Amino acid sequence: MEVVLSGIRPTGNLHLGNYFGAVRNFIKMQEENSCYFFIADYHSLTTHPTPADLHGNIRNVLAEFLATGLDPEKATLYVQSDLPETAELYLLLNMNAYIGELERCTSFKEKIRKHPENVNAGLLTYPTLMAADILLHRAHKVPVGKDQEQHLEMTRTFARRFNRMYNIEFFPEPQAYNFGEELVKVPGLDGSGKMGKSESEGNAIFLVDSPEIIRKKVMRAVSDAGPTEEGQAKTEAVENLFSLLKIMSKPETLAFFEDEYLNCRIRYGDLKKQLAEDIILFTSPIRERILEIRDDNEYLRKVTKMGAEKARESASKTIKEIREIIGISSF
């Protein structure tokens, strides 16, 4: 069975883009692989969240992932900082990570450009921390977005370097998990581009949004003045609304509005009303579970304790072997 690992940043709430672009695949993956999903709280410290925000965000992310269907019995779901082994492997890998290669990292250069006032060592060594997360479980597959491909390449470099240095085939070289055709891009509501939490206000629909908020956001979505001749090409904003219908609504609903558009009879208000109701139908049960789980300390404690125990089984085994390989052996 392949070992698959993915980190989840504890920032903000999950939106429909996260669900259809990532979480839905995690739920399928957990059926067929040995999956490790962790909440990357160490990683998020580079931006200096307040203790209350950090803890609140971890609670939120945990509740949202559990509510969508990540199963702590099937997958290993843990908080990164619950594994002291993460910090140890990070330290050890840093000894063989060179400043030059870390500085050349695109995401690091991007961070310097955007936040010149906060160029800390944690940011520079973000790729070694990510490598530690992955190599700790000797993972084979990592589902990564385009922005993370370079980091994964660095993980392979660190793994190869370690293997070569100690002349041992210890770490497998992790590969990107490819979802192939299943990858969908969920558009946002502001008329251009994809749904994202840091886009304009009202662009994203969060799983935890109430029906009232969802209706308001969808009714305010950007459209256009409507087609004036038969078969007129759609503007990006309208194309986006149709893409959302395709993801959220029944095929016959999509076909109905396609037909209305083709014949220039379309009323975007009707389309949006239907879209909002179909989104609400999908998100409501998830939202109810999120609200329930978020306040259930006992359940969250149980899940994180179980996750940490399962994760530490593999992590402590890896660290024990690495220590011996490196020469940190007991007398």
> Binding to ligand AMP (CB under 6 A): which residues in 169-188?
184-186
**Residue in 74, 194, 273, 317 annotated catalytic:** 194
The single residue of 111, 141, 217, 272 carrying the catalytic annotation is: 111
Distance CA 132, CA 128 (A): 6
Smallest distance from the beta carbon of 53 to ligand AMP, in angstroms?
A: 16
Angle of the 149-165 helix axis to the 106-114 helix axis, nearest 10:
130
Residue 43 C-beta: closest distance to ligand AMP, Å = 11
**305 is an active site residue:** no
Q: Please identify the residue of the shown chain whose CB is closest to the bound ligand AMP.
A: 21
Tell me the closest approach of the beta carbon of residue 184 to ligand AMP, in angstroms: 6
Alpha carbon distance 78, 302 (integer Å): 11
Q: How far is 280 from 16, CA to CA, in rounded Å?
A: 11
Of 147 and 224, the one with the shorter C-beta distance to ligand AMP is 147
10 binds ligand AMP (CB under 6 A): no
Which string of x and - marks every residue 133-152 that binds ligand AMP (by CB under 6 A)?
------------x-------
Q: Whose structure tokens read 């399928």?
A: 28
The site for ligand AMP, by CB under 6 A, has a size of 14
Cα diameter, the chain:
84
Residues 195-224 that bind ligand AMP (CB under 6 A): 195-197
Near ligand AMP by CB under 6 A: residue from 2, 13, 22, 323: 22
The residue among 122 and 193 lying less far from ligand AMP, judged by its C-beta, is 193
> Is 250 considered catalytic here?
no
Question: If DSSP codes are grouped into helix, strand and coil, which group holds residue 194?
Answer: strand
CB of 30 to ligand AMP, least distance (A): 16
C-alpha 22/C-alpha 14 separation (Å) is 10
Q: With respect to ligand AMP, which residue has the nearer C-beta, 199 or 260?
A: 199
Span interacting with ligand AMP, options 19-27, 89-97, 122-130, 245-253, rule CB under 6 A: 19-27
What is the DSSP-derived secondary structure letter of residue 45? G
User: Which residue number, 20 or 171, has a Cβ lying nearer to ligand AMP?
Assistant: 20
Interface with ligand AMP, residue 21, by CB under 6 A: yes
CB of 86 to ligand AMP, least distance (A): 20
Among residues 74, 114, 197, 305, the one annotated as catalytic is 197
The 3-class secondary structure across 219-285, one letter per residue, is HCCCCCCCCCCCCCCCCHHHHHHHHHHHHHCCHHHHHHHHHHHHCCCCCHHHHHHHHHHHHHHHHHH
Angstrom CA distances, 187 to 20, 198, 236, 246, 248, stand at 11, 13, 10, 11, 12
> Closest Cα partner for 6 from 24, 22, 28?
22
Smallest CA-to-CA distance from 1 within 35, 37, 51 is with 35
Pairing of strands 175-176, 141-142: parallel
Q: Kindly state whether residue 7 participates in binding ligand AMP, applying the rule CB under 6 A.
A: no
Residue 194 catalytic?
yes
* φ, ψ for residue 50, nearest 5 deg: -70, 155
- The residue ranges that bind ligand AMP (CB under 6 A) are 9, 17-18, 20-22, 145, 184-186, 194-197
**Residues carrying an active site annotation:** 111, 194, 197
